[in-house]
């Protein structure tokens, strides 16, 4: 069942990239690179959420990073 979700996410990301790729100019190398980078980052993020649902979110990371400074602000 998980592999079906992974395949669905991959299909949706591939469709989005293919539709957006066709709308970009041939000479816009930076825009195409940005599109690919954002798509890959989003695909990896979605797969991590599906494969590891108990993984802590980004708020936990921010709390962990700034916890030593909480004593200075109080």
Average pLDDT, the chain: 92
Spatial separation of the C-alpha atoms in residues 49 and 47, rounded to whole Å? 5
pLDDT in tens, 14-45: 999 999 999 998 889 999 999 999 999 999 99
For 5-11, what is the mean pLDDT?
97
Total domains present in the chain: 1
- The boundaries of the domain holding residue 60 are 2-73
The answer to whether residue 74 scores a pLDDT higher than 70 is no
Spatial separation of the C-alpha atoms in residues 38 and 69, rounded to whole Å? 32
The answer to whether residue 73 scores a pLDDT higher than 80 is no
Residues 9, 49 contacting (CB under 8 angstroms): no
Tell me how long the chain is. 74
pLDDT at residue 69, as a whole number: 87
Residue with structure tokens 């709390």?
A: 63
């Amino acid at each position: 069942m998980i592999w079906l979700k992974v395949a669905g996410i991959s299909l949706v990301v591939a469709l989005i990239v293919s539709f957006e790729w066709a709308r970009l100019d041939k000479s816009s190398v930076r825009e195409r690179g940005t599109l690919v980078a954002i798509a890959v980052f989003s695909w990896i993020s979605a797969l991590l959420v599906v494969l590891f649902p108990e993984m802590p979110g980004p708020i936990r990371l921010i709390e962990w990073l700034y916890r030593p400074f909480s004593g200075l602000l109080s």
